Amino acid sequence: MKPTASSRQYDLVLYGATGFVGRQTVAYLAHHPQVKSLGLKWALAGRSASKLQAVRQACGAARAGVLVAQAHDANAIDELARSAAVVLSTAGPFALYGSELVSACVRHGTHYVDITGETPWVKGLIARHHARAMETGARIIPFCGFDSVPSDISALLANQTMWARHGEKCARVTAAFSIRGGFNGGTLASMFNLMATGQAREVADPFLLNPPGTRATDTAAQRDPAFPVHDEDFKAWLGPFFMAPINTRVVRRTAALLGYADGFRYQEYLRLGRGPAAALAAGALSAGSMVGQAAMKLAPLRKLAQALAPGPGEGPSEASMDGGSFSCQWVGHSAGGHTVRGMVADQGDPGNRATTKMVCESALALVWQRDELPGGPGHGGLLTPASGLGDVLVQRLRAAGMTLQVDP
């Protein structure tokens, strides 16, 4: 790897460094071997200088600078974006705190990654900034955490493998997730904001993030599953996965941007296991999911849930996060009858430990390996992890200890 040179004051600025995931991100970068060996020029940014300095000290990030910038202070945000080659943001809800930062990054040709799962917000970014980001060469890449790197990379690996082995595209890719982990307050705050502002209705569109002219005609086949199924590919009962309405939209945008959307279907589920008990669990999950979605549409119940949930800056214990894990098993089928299989998996709470790893490696790919990324130097736009980072991210995640395997 030959590091990409930058003339900016900072190679990387981490915005939202004092939040729950933000603190984990600071620690990950501070102890990353390449950050030390290649001399990363980086800074922590947020609203409070004293809190940023405390995080810097607690996480062993003595070499990081400190930048004070309020989300709605246009001048401070503009200067932040101007000073950085890459911005990594963990400051959600992004619909409330992220729009000005993305606008500034687009203006200055600054690359950007975040951990949002707020698809309606990203739809607005696409409409406002995709064309301009293509002109300035800014790679704006949301969804670089657990939503939606495993899904996006799984579909990418399936299509690459099918083409390499059989000279065909995948007609259908299905993913089955197993997860063990908890929620942090920032993630829940984003979800509650989505519900409270009525944006949740937009999420139902299977092609919410697709470019114009790339919506499939078989819309019904791409709608989110509401009922359990017994899948022969996985030999297991599968139920609705609460992250599918985010991840599937990202995968379909990737398919359109990379040119394999025509005739392509992607769907994902939560894996419940085998036998009668798994069938009952899948049924209960489906019923619970429908009841939960209906309940969250009612303001009094939503406020009650919000009062009981962890607040921003709060989340699972260190032991709980260390004990978490996820696996995403995937199967791809071609129109010609060929099949490819593989898995993306990691140890650590997926919404915290794994998310931190994924977004940091995404940012470092932009810092040091821009010339190796899909589209080459100067390629910009509102991209996805697979279309904007591709094989470079795959390699970095493998080097960081994540499992990304393709079965023989």
Q: Are residues 156 and 283 in the same domain?
A: yes
- Label residue 215 by pLDDT band (50, 70, 90): confident
Q: Are strands 236-239 and 265-273 parallel, antiparallel or unpaired?
A: antiparallel
Two tokens at 20? 């729950």
In this predicted structure, what is the pLDDT of residue 294? Answer: 54
pLDDT at residue 89 tops 80: yes
In this predicted structure, what is the pLDDT of residue 201? Answer: 72
Q: Is the dihedral of CA 231, 234, 235, 238 positive or negative?
A: negative
Distance, in Å, from the CA atom of 82 to the CA atom of 106, rounded to the nearest integer, reads: 10
> Which residue's structure tokens are 């996965």?
241
Q: Are residues 332 and 375 in the same domain?
A: no
Position 174 in a domain: yes
pLDDT at residue 63 tops 90: yes
Of 349, 366, 384, the domain-final residue? 349
Q: Are residues 171 and 298 in the same domain?
A: yes
Higher-confidence position of 260 and 216: 260
pLDDT at residue 102 tops 90: yes
Per cent of the chain over pLDDT 70 is: 85
Position 202 in a domain: yes
CA angle 66, 373, 187 (to 5 degrees): 50
Q: Are residues 210 and 86 in the same domain?
A: no
Phi, psi dihedrals of residue 35, rounded to the nearest 5°:
-60, -40
Tens-place pLDDT, residues 19-60: 999 999 999 999 999 998 999 999 999 999 999 999 999 999
Tens-place pLDDT, residues 179-210: 987 766 556 555 666 666 666 678 889 999 99
Nearest to 348 by CA among 318, 322, 328: 322
pLDDT at residue 135 tops 70: yes
Q: Are residues 344 and 371 in the same domain?
A: no
> Which residue's structure tokens are 């070499």?
63
Nearest to 90 by CA among 349, 356, 388: 356
In this predicted structure, what is the pLDDT of residue 163? Answer: 97
Residue 43: CATH number of its domain: 3.40.50.720
Higher-confidence position of 131 and 294: 131
Q: Is the dihedral of CA 199, 312, 249, 238 positive or negative?
A: negative
Is residue 375 classed exposed, middle or buried when 0-12, 13-18 and 19+ CB atoms within 10 A define those classes?
A: middle
Residue 348 zone, left/alpha/beta (φ > 0; ψ -120 to 50; rest): left
In this predicted structure, what is the pLDDT of residue 390? Answer: 98
Q: If DSSP codes are grouped into helix, strand and coil, which group holds residue 194?
A: helix
Q: How far is residue 151 from each of residues 27, 58, 219, 295, 377, measured CA to CA in Å?
A: 26, 33, 20, 28, 26
Q: Is the dihedral of CA 232, 234, 237, 238 positive or negative?
A: negative
Q: Are residues 189 and 65 in the same domain?
A: no
In this predicted structure, what is the pLDDT of residue 164? Answer: 97
In this predicted structure, what is the pLDDT of residue 276? Answer: 77
Q: Are residues 72 and 173 in the same domain?
A: no
Q: Check residue 47 and report its DSSP letter.
A: S
Nearest to 328 by CA among 182, 183, 174, 150: 150
In this predicted structure, what is the pLDDT of residue 17? Answer: 97
Position 5 in a domain: no
Nearest to 258 by CA among 332, 331, 156: 156
Q: Are residues 93 and 14 in the same domain?
A: yes
Q: Are residues 341 and 224 in the same domain?
A: yes
Cβ count within 10 A of residue 27: 17
Position 22 in a domain: yes
Q: Are residues 121 and 245 in the same domain?
A: no
Nearest to 268 by CA among 337, 344, 192, 334: 344
Position 226 in a domain: yes
CB-based contacts of 346, cutoff 8 Å, min separation 6: 325, 326, 353, 354, 357, 401, 402, 403
Tens-place pLDDT, residues 247-290: 999 999 999 999 998 889 999 999 987 877 766 766 666 666 65
Which residue range is the domain that position 257 belongs to?
149-349
In this predicted structure, what is the pLDDT of residue 258? Answer: 96
Q: Are residues 217 and 330 in the same domain?
A: yes
Distance, in Å, from the CA atom of 338 to the CA atom of 121, rounded to the nearest integer, reads: 37
Mean pLDDT of 101-129: 97
DSSP string, 359-372: HHHHHHHHHH-GGG
Position 213 in a domain: yes
Position 155 in a domain: yes
The residues facing 327 across adjacent strands are 178, 345
Q: If DSSP codes are grouped into helix, strand and coil, which group holds residue 317?
A: coil
Contact 312, 136 (CB under 8 A): no
pLDDT mean across residues, the chain: 89
pLDDT at residue 80 tops 60: yes
Position 404 in a domain: no
Per cent of the chain over pLDDT 90 is: 73
Q: How far is residue 204 from each of residues 187, 269, 285, 385, 392, measured CA to CA in Å?
A: 19, 16, 19, 22, 32
- Label residue 313 by pLDDT band (50, 70, 90): low
- Label residue 309 by pLDDT band (50, 70, 90): low
Nearest to 156 by CA among 298, 7, 164: 164
In this prediction the pTM is: 0.91
Q: Are residues 358 and 345 in the same domain?
A: no
Q: Are strands 42-46 and 10-15 parallel, antiparallel or unpaired?
A: parallel
* Number of domains the chain is built from: 2
- Label residue 83 by pLDDT band (50, 70, 90): very high
Mean pLDDT of 136-145: 98
pLDDT at residue 155 tops 80: yes
